[in-house]
């Protein structure tokens, strides 16, 4: 679901962007991970109860449990039976989801989704702007692009931290302006599956955010022109074969191998920037054009049509690289469609340089037209 895609609780944004975006992630998770939705729905309703307590000028102890908040508001006469039932339903369902190992059903998540609506509608009618209209309840539709459960958890926890900060419950003192800025930054991020920041890598004063879809990506040395041999050496020491093997701080990475220095750390960091941006473009392309085959060469790509895929790999069709064609044929790669998706891999063949691969890419592009 992109940031421009409407979602049911858009109307909550004027009251709290943090609440609105958190409940949007809950909506995303209903069909992807019912357990995730049930578990984190508790945080959403607890935040609403905190807002109620502040509106009623009650002492808002951040260490109170959700049940204690419900009981206190009930004792003071601020809750009606329908709302008490909805609150306890979400609380109890969330507790079960947090501890029970069984598989949770979509229907259970949908029941909590209905309970959320009941609570939000009551909150708006009692404490919200007089002119705010709550739309009629709607069952959520399955998202076209579903998030992996782990990525959903990361997104939801990030929003929960922003929500806690907006309510003054962060571990560090933050101003309202800082909270708003952090929320706006989160919202501005490209919100398609895989693009959530999963970790960051730093080098001196610079920071590089790693998107979720690249967290365990294989770091093909040929993709890093200045760092190819450095990566090969590091890979032999099990230090940089995949993204998750890289340390959070690249300073001193060269110490794992002999005859390399700080400049190699710096070069790798700079090339990682380029690599990540290229991979983001490829990821978007795959999401926008599902089911299609592409050849990639650095930042460029070719759509592999059926006609292009059938072209034989011969010296008559592709000039200037007879050694590459011969070695491909010996490896039983005889048509264009059998080439690797990542064409830079072809530079592994004997006496084949990156210039030869680039020439092949351009010839393939020419035959596509």
Q: Between 288 and 184, name the one with better pLDDT.
A: 288
Q: How far is CA 13 from CA 7, 78, 132, in A?
A: 11, 24, 11
Q: Give me the mean pLDDT over the 9-13 stretch.
A: 92
Q: Mention every residue, 6+ apart, whose C-beta is less than 8 A from residue 281.
A: 299
Q: Give me the mean pLDDT over the 203-232 stretch.
A: 94
247: which 2 tokens? 């340390």
Model-level pTM? 0.69
For helices 17-32 and 176-188, angle between their N-to-C axes, nearest 10 degrees: 40
| Cα(23)–Cα(44) distance, integer angstroms | 7
pLDDT band at 254 (very low <50, low <70, confident <90, very high): very high
pLDDT band at 178 (very low <50, low <70, confident <90, very high): low
Lowest mean pLDDT, pick from 33-42, 71-80, 192-201: 192-201
| Cα(311)–Cα(367) distance, integer angstroms | 9
Quickly count: other Cβ atoms within 10 Å of residue 59's Cβ.
8
Tens-place pLDDT, residues 105-139: 999 999 999 999 999 999 999 999 989 989 999 88
Lowest mean pLDDT, pick from 67-76, 147-156, 176-185, 225-234: 176-185
Average pLDDT, the chain: 89
The pLDDT of residue 260: 96
């Amino acid at each position: 679901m992109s940031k421009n895609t409407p979602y049911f609780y858009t109307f909550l944004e004027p009251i709290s962007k943090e609440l609105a975006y958190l409940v949007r992630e809950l909506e995303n998770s209903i069909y992807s991970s019912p357990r995730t939705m049930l578990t984190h729905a508790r945080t959403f309703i607890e935040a609403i109860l905190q807002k109620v307590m502040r509106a009623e000028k009650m002492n808002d102890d951040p260490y109170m449990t959700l049940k204690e908040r419900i009981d206190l508001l009930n004792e003071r006469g601020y809750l009606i039976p329908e709302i008490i039932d909805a609150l306890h339903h979400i609380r109890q369902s969330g507790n079960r989801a947090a501890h029970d190992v069984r598989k949770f059903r979509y229907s259970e998540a949908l029941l909590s989704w209905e309970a959320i609506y009941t609570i939000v509608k009551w909150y708006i009618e009692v404490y919200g702007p007089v002119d705010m209209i709550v739309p009629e309840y709607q069952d959520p539709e399955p998202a076209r692009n579903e998030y992996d459960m782990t990525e959903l958890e990361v997104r939801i926890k990030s929003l929960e931290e922003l929500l806690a900060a907006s309510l003054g419950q962060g571990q560090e003192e933050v101003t309202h302006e800082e909270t708003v800025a952090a929320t706006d930054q989160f919202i501005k991020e490209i919100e398609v599956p895989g693009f959530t920041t999963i970790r960051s890598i730093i080098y001196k004063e610079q920071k590089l955010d790693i998107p979720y879809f690249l967290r365990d990506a294989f770091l093909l040395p040929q993709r890093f022109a200045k760092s190819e041999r450095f990566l090969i050496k590091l890979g032999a020491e099990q230090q940089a074969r995949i993204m998750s093997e890289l340390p959070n701080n690249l300073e001193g990475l060269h110490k794992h191998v002999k005859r390399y220095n700080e400049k190699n750390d710096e070069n790798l960091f700079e090339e990682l920037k380029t690599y990540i941006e290229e991979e983001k473009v490829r990821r978007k392309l795959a999401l926008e054009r599902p089911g299609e085959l592409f050849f990639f060469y650095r930042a460029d790509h070719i759509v592999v049509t059926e006609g292009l895929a059938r072209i034989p790999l011969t010296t008559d069709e592709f000039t200037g690289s007879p050694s590459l064609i011969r070695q491909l044929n010996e490896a039983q790669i005889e048509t264009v469609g059998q080439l690797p998706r990542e064409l830079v891999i072809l530079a592994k063949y004997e006496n084949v340089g990156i210039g030869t691969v680039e020439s092949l890419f351009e010839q393939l592009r020419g035959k596509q037209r």
